[in-house]
């Protein structure tokens, strides 16, 4: 083949590959509906890169292979925006939204309800991206709104930013504006790898996005999981859009050109409907894949936008309604140490109370020594505290500039703050533990609370506060003392009436009849949850046999590995624990014998069953227990070893996978019918 014709066929191949990859990118990033598996995509990309390497003269700047970054810069050039990049007025109270609508109406001299485009306020950085004849030629930061920095090479590496626009009628010049951000998952992964590399993690996705976008070496940006959503239009020359179109129609037009848009945008008529949208997005906020800090409302009619104009740096036709801040600064006043049921000692930060994420926060866990070292935190420091959704408040970082001279190191206790027993730090574990066991009143309280809890002895009326009182008054030292309680000391407790005392004694008495599985669970053996307790009971059938079992024998129990076997073995070889068990039994705690299930009673013996979807007639836990009674092993994921899938409503990927693997599948009714037939 002559060089010429080889070049021609390479050109045709490159063209075909580029088209396919661009189509896939569009389906994946804009339509959110990928049509090919990742490996097929990777294969096409490899083929394209190979061809382009062989024929460098055929490599163009808009090729989808050019998302890897180029030569590093020595500095960013300045770019003057053709149209200023504005900012937004903020609102915080419901009234701010109603006042905004009123201001708009007054300005327009109209009482008509206004239609607003509603968009999540993405927590990232504003960018302007210019396409000429459909090709990305320039991108800039917002800067001061007039002049920004040239970050073209970096923006080109963002996975969902098209290097070339789609559709037939492409405008000759179009400036797209939008937000560059880092999705939550990408942020978590990035921070994990920062940690592994011994580098400083980023405080939040916004900082990570900013740090990634302002890299002189675009190869670094290319390796960061950035995304962009377009939210408005700047300069426009040519193209299919009329002056009378609305903002939401313009966004749809950008989508047609292949630009990625936020899926949660909407249109609302009037301030009340905007407020409803704001609340709905607030509820969705934690489940969104990206961080937002509020909602942006824009008058939808572009003609009205033009009549309204702007004041100084913000348009009169838009506003941002902000969520309560999820991060605030406060001071670490002190650190106290709390002892848990298994003796783990956790440092708890006592903070200057601060309003964050909609509540006042005055405590936060510091987890363990490693976390304290990671934060480099001292008492007296000013810290960033974060409370997102219902997640427990976290200390994110320390503001070193604000550290007072009087700041004190956090000292870990060498002795338990509750019982003064010595504290041990186990190798490879970040936690320190009190060695006091049930001598320690803090551990005792937690152990007794666990013992009385619903899934254990289920003693109604024996709540946490009463346990604290009973232990403090030394009426209870270990769980067996619960069964020795009498009326007169109970009624002498603060806020404890005759009636509640009688009721409590009655439920204590009733609780004596239990099951071996519940009894084992209630002992609070480390890492022995409900299901392990149940497996132990079914395997050994009697308490004596469990107490006598060695670690090897314990490892034969379903789901019991070496570590759990050691915990169980050590528990029953601690004489103090055996004494408590004996006291419980002599106090009258009892359970019915377990008859070894016959093969008839266990028709599912040896079968692996997976549950998925929502069950209507029983809970997941109940269904699992029933299956286990029948001898089945209940697993969490489908594999070739699965024998049966029980799929409730809204079953998802597990159902698909099961049918791909040809695994027998029952709906809930089939399962219920089967149980009834036994
Ligand atoms: S519109 C004149 N829409 O918020 C309109 N901005 O406080 C200017 N932002 O710099 C921007 N999501 O970085 C608009 N859906 C959205 C937005 C959004 C986030 C950011 C943007 C801007 C800042 C203004």
Q: Which residues contact 321 (CB under 8 A, 6 or more apart)?
A: 90, 91, 92, 96, 97, 274, 278, 294, 295, 296, 297
For residue 418, being part of any structural domain is answered with no
Record the tokens describing residue 617, joined without a space.
Answer: 């007639």
Active-site option among 18, 121, 156, 298: 121
214 pLDDT exceeds 80? Answer: yes
Chain mean pLDDT for the chain: 91
Q: How far is CA 112 from CA 101, 321, 428, in A?
A: 10, 22, 67
Q: Provide the pLDDT for residue 220.
A: 94
Q: Determine what percent of the chain is predicted with pLDDT higher than 70.
A: 98
Distance 123 CA to ligand 1 centre (A): 9
pTM exceeds cut of 0.75: no
Number of domains in the chain: 4
Residue 314 CA, closest ligand 1 atom number: 2
- Residue burial 410-443, b: 16+ Cβ < 10 Å; e: rest: beeeeebebbebebeeeeeeebbbbebbbbbbbb
Please check whether residue 175 is in contact with residue 129, taking contact to mean a CB–CB distance below 8 angstroms.
yes
Q: Provide the pLDDT for residue 286.
A: 84
Q: Provide the pLDDT for residue 109.
A: 94
The answer to whether residues 317 and 332 belong to one domain is no
The answer to whether residues 285 and 362 belong to one domain is no
For residue 118, being part of any structural domain is answered with yes
For residue 413, being part of any structural domain is answered with no
Record the tokens describing residue 74, joined without a space.
Answer: 């020595």
390 pLDDT exceeds 70? Answer: no
For residue 339, being part of any structural domain is answered with yes
The answer to whether residues 397 and 511 belong to one domain is no
Listed residue (454, 497, 461, 455) closest to 482, CA to CA: 461
Per-residue pLDDT tens over the stretch 528-563? 998 899 989 989 999 999 999 999 999 988 878 899
Q: Which of the listed residues 146, 231, 291, 313 should we mutate to test ligand 1's pocket, taking the one with most ligand atoms within 8 A of CB?
A: 231
Beta pairing class for 644-647 and 664-667: parallel
Distance 320 CA to ligand 1 centre (A): 8
For residue 663, being part of any structural domain is answered with yes
How far is 527 from 533, CA to CA, in rounded Å?
A: 10
For residue 411, being part of any structural domain is answered with no
**The domain spanning residue 390 has which CATH number?**
2.40.50.140
360 pLDDT exceeds 80? Answer: yes
The answer to whether residues 217 and 289 belong to one domain is yes
The answer to whether residues 555 and 626 belong to one domain is no
- Judge if the beta carbon of residue 230 lies within 6 A of ligand 1: no
Beta carbons within 10 angstroms of residue 399's beta carbon: 11
- Judge if the beta carbon of residue 251 lies within 6 A of ligand 1: no
The answer to whether residues 18 and 50 belong to one domain is yes
Q: Which of the listed residues 296, 309, 311, 318 should we mutate to test ligand 1's pocket, taking the one with most ligand atoms within 8 A of CB?
A: 296
Residues in the chain: 678
Q: Which residues contact 489 (CB under 8 A, 6 or more apart)?
A: 473, 475
Of the listed ranges 113-117, 352-356, 406-410, the one predicted with least confidence: 352-356
How far is 43 from 21, CA to CA, in rounded Å?
A: 10
Domain containing residue 541: 435-596
**The domain spanning residue 84 has which CATH number?**
3.30.470.30
∠ CA 327-328-329, rounded to 5°: 140
2 pLDDT exceeds 70? Answer: no
Q: Which helix (H) or strand (E) holds 449?
A: helix 441-452
Residue nearest to atom 16 of ligand 1 (CA): 121
Q: Provide the pLDDT for residue 615.
A: 86
For residue 409, being part of any structural domain is answered with no
Please identify, among 304, 322, 340, the residue that sits at the C-terminal boundary of a domain.
322
**The domain spanning residue 440 has which CATH number?**
1.10.150.20
Q: How far is CA 357 from CA 325, 386, 652, in A?
A: 5, 8, 33
What value does the mean pLDDT take over residues 343-370? Answer: 91
Please identify, among 358, 383, 402, the residue that sits at the C-terminal boundary of a domain.
402
Residue nearest to atom 12 of ligand 1 (CA): 121
Please identify, among 272, 293, 322, the residue that sits at the C-terminal boundary of a domain.
322
Q: Please, which pLDDT band fits residue 181 given cuts at 50, 70 and 90?
A: very high
Distance 261 CA to ligand 1 centre (A): 14
1 pLDDT exceeds 60? Answer: no
Listed residue (585, 595, 609) closest to 658, CA to CA: 609
Note if 121 is an active site residue.
Answer: yes
Q: Which residues contact 284 (CB under 8 A, 6 or more apart)?
A: 264
DSSP code for 490: H
The answer to whether residues 332 and 253 belong to one domain is no
- Judge if the beta carbon of residue 295 lies within 6 A of ligand 1: no
The answer to whether residues 372 and 489 belong to one domain is no
Residue 232 CA, closest ligand 1 atom number: 1
Of the listed ranges 47-51, 179-183, 605-609, the one predicted with least confidence: 605-609
Distance 325 CA to ligand 1 centre (A): 17
The answer to whether residues 553 and 604 belong to one domain is no
The answer to whether residues 262 and 344 belong to one domain is no
The answer to whether residues 579 and 609 belong to one domain is no
Is the Cα dihedral 122, 124, 125, 129 positive or negative? negative
Listed residue (126, 128, 234, 229) closest to 171, CA to CA: 234
Q: Provide the pLDDT for residue 389.
A: 63
Residue with tokens 């409302």: 297
DSSP code for 439: G
Q: Please, which pLDDT band fits residue 356 given cuts at 50, 70 and 90?
A: confident
Q: Determine what percent of the chain is predicted with pLDDT higher than 90.
A: 67
The string of DSSP letters for 159-186 reads TTS-SB--SSS--SEEEEEEEEE--HHH
Residue with tokens 């695994």: 663
Distance 265 CA to ligand 1 centre (A): 13
The answer to whether residues 447 and 564 belong to one domain is yes
Per-residue pLDDT tens over the stretch 331-344? 999 999 999 888 99
- Judge if the beta carbon of residue 161 lies within 6 A of ligand 1: no
Please check whether residue 177 is in contact with residue 128, taking contact to mean a CB–CB distance below 8 angstroms.
yes
Please check whether residue 113 is in contact with residue 270, taking contact to mean a CB–CB distance below 8 angstroms.
yes
Residue nearest to atom 2 of ligand 1 (CA): 86
Q: Please, which pLDDT band fits residue 195 given cuts at 50, 70 and 90?
A: confident
For residue 373, being part of any structural domain is answered with yes
- Judge if the beta carbon of residue 239 lies within 6 A of ligand 1: no
How far is 569 from 263, CA to CA, in rounded Å?
A: 54
Of the listed ranges 92-106, 114-128, 431-445, 504-518, the one predicted with least confidence: 431-445
CA trace torsion 58, 61, 64, 69 (10° rounding): 120
How far is 499 from 487, CA to CA, in rounded Å?
A: 10
- Alpha helix (H) residue ranges in 261-315: 270-284, 302-308
Q: Which helix (H) or strand (E) holds 636?
A: none
């Amino acid at each position: 083949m002559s060089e010429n014709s080889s070049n021609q066929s390479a050109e045709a191949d490159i063209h075909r590959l580029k088209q396919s990859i661009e189509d896939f990118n569009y389906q994946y990033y804009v339509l959110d509906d990928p049509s090919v598996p990742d490996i097929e995509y990777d294969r096409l990309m490899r083929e394209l890169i190979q061809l382009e390497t062989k024929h460098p003269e055929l490599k163009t700047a808009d090729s989808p292979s050019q998302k890897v970054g180029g030569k590093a810069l020595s500095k960013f050039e300045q770019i003057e925006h053709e149209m200023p990049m504005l900012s937004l007025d903020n609102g915080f109270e419901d009234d701010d939204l109603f006042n905004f609508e009123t201001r708009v109406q007054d300005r327009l001299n109209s009482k008509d309800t206004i239609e607003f485009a509603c968009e999540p306020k993405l927590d990232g950085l504003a960018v302007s991206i210019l396409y000429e004849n459909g090709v990305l030629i320039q991108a800039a930061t917002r800067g001061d709104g007039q002049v920004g920095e040239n970050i073209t090479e970096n923006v080109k590496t963002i996975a969902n930013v098209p290097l070339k626009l789609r559709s037939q009628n492409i405008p000759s010049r179009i400036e797209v504006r939008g937000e560059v951000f880092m999705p939550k998952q990408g942020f978590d992964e990035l921070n994990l790898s920062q940690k592994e590399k011994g580098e400083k993690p980023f405080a939040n996705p916004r900082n990570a996005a900013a740090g990634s976008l302002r890299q002189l070496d675009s190869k670094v940006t290319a390796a960061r999981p950035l995304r962009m959503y377009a939210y408005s239009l700047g300069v426009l020359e040519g193209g299919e859009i009329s002056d009378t179109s609305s903002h939401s129609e313009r966004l749809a037009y950008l989508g047609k050109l292949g630009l990625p848009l936020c899926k949660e945008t909407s249109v609302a008529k009037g301030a009340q409907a905007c407020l409803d949208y704001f609340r709905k997005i607030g509820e969705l906020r934690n489940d969104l894949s990206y961080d937002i800090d509020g909602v942006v409302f824009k008058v939808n009619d572009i003609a009205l936008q033009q009549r309204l104009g702007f004041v100084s740096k913000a348009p009169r036709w838009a506003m941002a309604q902000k969520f309560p801040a999820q991060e605030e600064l406060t001071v670490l006043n002190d650190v106290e140490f709390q002892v848990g049921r298994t003796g783990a000692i956790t440092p708890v930060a006592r903070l200057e109370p601060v309003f964050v994420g909609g509540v006042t926060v005055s405590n936060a866990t510091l987890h363990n020594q490693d976390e304290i070292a990671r934060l480099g935190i001292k008492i007296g420091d000013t810290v960033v505290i974060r409370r997102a959704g219902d997640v427990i408040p976290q200390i994110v970082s320390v503001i070193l500039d604000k550290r007072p001279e009087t700041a004190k190191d956090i000292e870990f206790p060498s002795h338990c703050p509750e019982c003064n027993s010595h504290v041990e730090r186990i190798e490879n574990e970040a936690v320190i533990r009190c060695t006091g066991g049930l001598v320690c009143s803090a551990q005792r309280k937690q152990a007794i609370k666990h013992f009385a809890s619903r899934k254990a002895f289920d003693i109604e009326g024996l709540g946490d506060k009463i346990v604290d009182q009973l232990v403090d008054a030394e009426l209870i030292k270990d769980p067996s003392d619960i069964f020795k309680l009498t009326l007169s000391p109970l009624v002498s407790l603060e806020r404890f009436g005759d009636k509640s005392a009688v009721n409590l004694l009655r439920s204590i008495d009733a609780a004596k009849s239990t099951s071996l599985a519940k009894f084992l669970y209630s002992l609070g053996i480390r890492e022995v949850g409900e299901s392990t307790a149940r497996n132990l009971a079914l395997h050994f059938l009697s308490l004596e046999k469990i107490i006598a079992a060695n670690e090897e024998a314990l490892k034969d129990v379903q789901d019991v590995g070496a570590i759990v076997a050691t915990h169980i073995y050590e528990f029953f070889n601690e004489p103090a624990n055996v004494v408590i068990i004996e006291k419980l039994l002599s106090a009258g705690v009892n359970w019915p014998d377990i008859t070894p299930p016959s093969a008839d009673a266990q028709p599912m013996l040896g079968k692996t069953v997976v549950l998925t979807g929502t069950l209507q007639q029983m809970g997941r836990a109940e269904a699992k227990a029933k299956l286990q009674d029948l001898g089945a092993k209940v697993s969490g994921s489908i594999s070739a070893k699965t024998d049966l899938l029980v799929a409730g409503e809204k079953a998802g990927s597990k159902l698909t996978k099961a049918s791909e693997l040809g695994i027998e599948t029952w709906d809930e009714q089939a399962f219920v019918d089967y149980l009834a037939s036994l």
